[in-house]
Chain A
Amino acid sequence: MERLSVIIAKRLALGILTLFVISLIIFSATEMLPGDIAQTVLGQSATPDTVAAFRRELGLDQSAPTRYLNWLTGVAHGDLGMSLANRRPVSELIASRVGNTIFLSAYAAAIAVPLSLILGILSALYRNTTFDRSVNVAALAAISFPEFFVAYILVFFLAQTGYFPSMANVDANTAFGEKLYKTFLPALTLTLVVTAHMMRMTRASIINLLALPYIEMARLKGMSPLRVIVYHAVPNALAPIITVIALNLGWLIAGVVVVEVVFVYPGLGQLMVDSVSKRDLPVAQAVALLFAAAYVLLNLLADVLGMITNPGLSHPK
Chain B
Amino acid sequence: MLDMKLNRRGFMMTTASIAALPMLGAAPTNGFAASPKRGGLLRIGQLGGATSDTLDPATFAAGPVACAMYGGVYNSLVEIDADNNVVPELAESFEPSADAKTWVFKLRKGITFSDGKPFSAQDVIATFNYHKGDDSKSGGKELLSEIETIRADGTDTLLFQLKGGNADFPFVLADYHFSIMQAQEDGKVDWRSAIGTGGYILESFEPGIRIRLKRRDGYWKTDRAWFDEVELLTINDPVARQNALMSGEVDAIDRIDPKTAHMMQRAPNITLEEVVGLQHYTMPMFCDVKPFSDINVRLALKYAVDREEMVEKLLRGHGSVGNDHPIGAASRFYANGLPQRSYDPDKARFHLKKANAEGLSIELSAAEAAFTGAVDAAVLFQQSAAKAGIQVSVKREPDDGYWSNVWLTKPFCFSYWGGRVTEDWMFTQVYARGAKWNESHWNNDRFNSLLIEARSELDVAKRREMYTEMQVLCSEDGGSIIPMFANFLDARNDKVAHGKLASNLFFDGWKIVERWWPA
Contact = CB atoms under 8 A, between A and B. Distances in A.
B217 interface: no
A35 B404 contact: yes
Contact of A160 (B207, B246, B250): B246
A71 to B, nearest CB: 17
Contact of A169 (B50, B139, B249, B398): B249
Interface in B226-251: 233-237, 239-240, 243-244, 246-247, 249-250
Contacts of B400: 33-35, 40, 277
Contact of B208 (A41, A46, A162, A270): A270
B265 interface: no
Interface of B is mostly: loop
B340 interface: no
B38 interface: no
Contacts of B52: 41, 83, 85-86, 274-275, 278, 280, 283
Interface string B391-420: 000000010110111010000000100000
Contacts of A87: 54
By CB atoms of chain A within 10 A, which of B206, B210, B240, B398 has the most?
A: B240
Interface of A is mostly: helix
Interface string A38-64: 111111111101110110110000000
Contacts of A51: 137
B332 to A, nearest CB: 24
Given A47-B436, A270-B51, A274-B51, A264 B244 contact: yes
Contacts, number: 132
B59 A41 contact: yes
Q: Which of the four size classes fits the interface of chain B? A: 35 or more
A266 interface: yes
A280 B343 CA distance: 45
B510 to A, nearest CB: 16
Contacts of B137: 38, 42, 50-51, 53-54, 57
A31 interface: no
Contacts of A280: 52
A64 B69 CA distance: 35
B243 A166 contact: yes
A198 interface: no
A100 to B, nearest CB: 10
9 contacts: A42-B137, A51-B137, A53-B134, A53-B137, A85-B53, A86-B52, A169-B210, A261-B236, A262-B239
Given A86-B52, A86-B53, A264-B234, 5 more contacts: A47-B436, A50-B137, A50-B142, A160-B246, A263-B240
Cβ-closest 3 pairs across A and B: A85-B52, A35-B401, A34-B401
